[in-house]
Structure 1
Amino acid sequence: MSIESVKKHFKKFDREQEVMEFDSSSATVEEAANTIGVKPARIAKTLCFRGEVEGTILIVAAGDVKIDNKKFRHTFGYKARMLSPDQVLEQTEHKIGGVCPFGLKKNLDVYLDKSMKRFETVFPACGSTNSAIELTLEELGIYASAKDWVDVCKGWFNEEERVEKMVEK
């Protein structure tokens, strides 16, 4: 079971007891936000993409954003192509609705999107459609063995971008 691999992962950090399991679904951003009692943006969703050379990559992003294809191509040098649900399961051992960057079947490159930097803590899934954990951004980076922060999403903008847009006008 996928949640078990995530709990085993967090056991290395003495945090397995902090994995929350719910009676209700947390499979979608909206369901997770309602179940946990936070705004959807604080749900850290994990998206799986087919890489050109390096294989599958994971992008962890705020729950209220979408991938910006132009930014993705600029950052990674190829078109964003999401994996099918079967491919996601094969690569991560997590089913859609519980995908996270922890307890993975394979060693995959994980990137964190800057859209999450608006928050002190976020809530990624923990390998099942009814689980999550609250982590600081620093903890998320450490526990996910994230390679880097990237800016590949749209649908939000931070204070720095707001100022730039005002200056452009």
Structure 2
Amino acid sequence: MAKKPRKQQSGATPAIVALEKAGTVFSVRAYEHDPAAPSYGEEAAEALGVDPSRVFKTLVADVDGVLTVAVVPVSGSLDLKALAVAVGGKRAAMADPAAAERTTGYVRGGISPLGQRKRLPTALDASAGAFATICVSAGRRGLEVELSPDDLAALTGAVLAPIARP
């Protein structure tokens, strides 16, 4: 039996659909993506006029053979050792980009922690708790969602841990 097509409003990404389905309070923030931008996250922060410590990038790592999502501020970088500890692993390395895209259903630079094809273990940097709202990818380059870090953690099942380096 064929699967029924998923109802989506025009232009809604799986991340936005997941937020709507959960009844979460959020706002969509769009900007014109520049394909030549050296950093997707820094580009988003600058284009939206948001402090880079409040804009979080979604990275996919391999922790002991398990693809794992790390959500860290664009103003810092991921501490792979801290990520491994946060999710109960021993070793972490950045995942193969093709594996990350295939597993999440999103393209690099547009990977959202929400609405992924396969739900992956997730860690959110503890610094997110300092803000009422943070911005994360909405599932497409040039599109962010702003929501509370508590809602993001609840929807993704994320552990909050100090996984970023300044």
TM-score normalised by the chain length of structure 2: 0.79
Pair 1:9 & 2:18 matched: yes
Q: Which ranges in structure 2 are unaligned for 5 or more consecutive residues?
A: 1-10
Q: Percent identity?
A: 24
Could you say which residue in structure 2 is the equivalent of 1:59? Answer: 70
Comparing 113-122 with 124-133, which one deviates more in the overlay? 113-122
Tell me how far 1:46 sits from its aligned partner.
Answer: 1.0
Per-residue CA distance 1:110-148 (angstroms, 9 max, x = gap): 1111122232211001110010111111111123232x1
- Once the two structures are overlaid, the 10-residue window that deviates more, 73-82 or 135-144, is 73-82
Select which of 107, 112, 124 maps to 1:112. 124
Looking at structure 2, the residues matched to 15 and 23 of structure 1 have their Cα atoms a distance apart, in angstroms, of: 25
**Per-residue deviation at 1:11?**
2.1
More helix by percentage: 1
Question: Which residue of structure 2 lines up, in the alignment, with residue 18 of structure 1?
Answer: 27
TM-aligned CA distance change 1:137 to 1:73, over 3 Å: closer
Which range is displaced more, 28-37 or 2-11?
2-11
RMSD (Å), alpha carbons: 2.5
Deviates more, 1:78-87 or 1:92-101: 78-87
Structure 1: any 5+ residue segments left out of the alignment? Answer: 156-169
Equivalences, count: 153
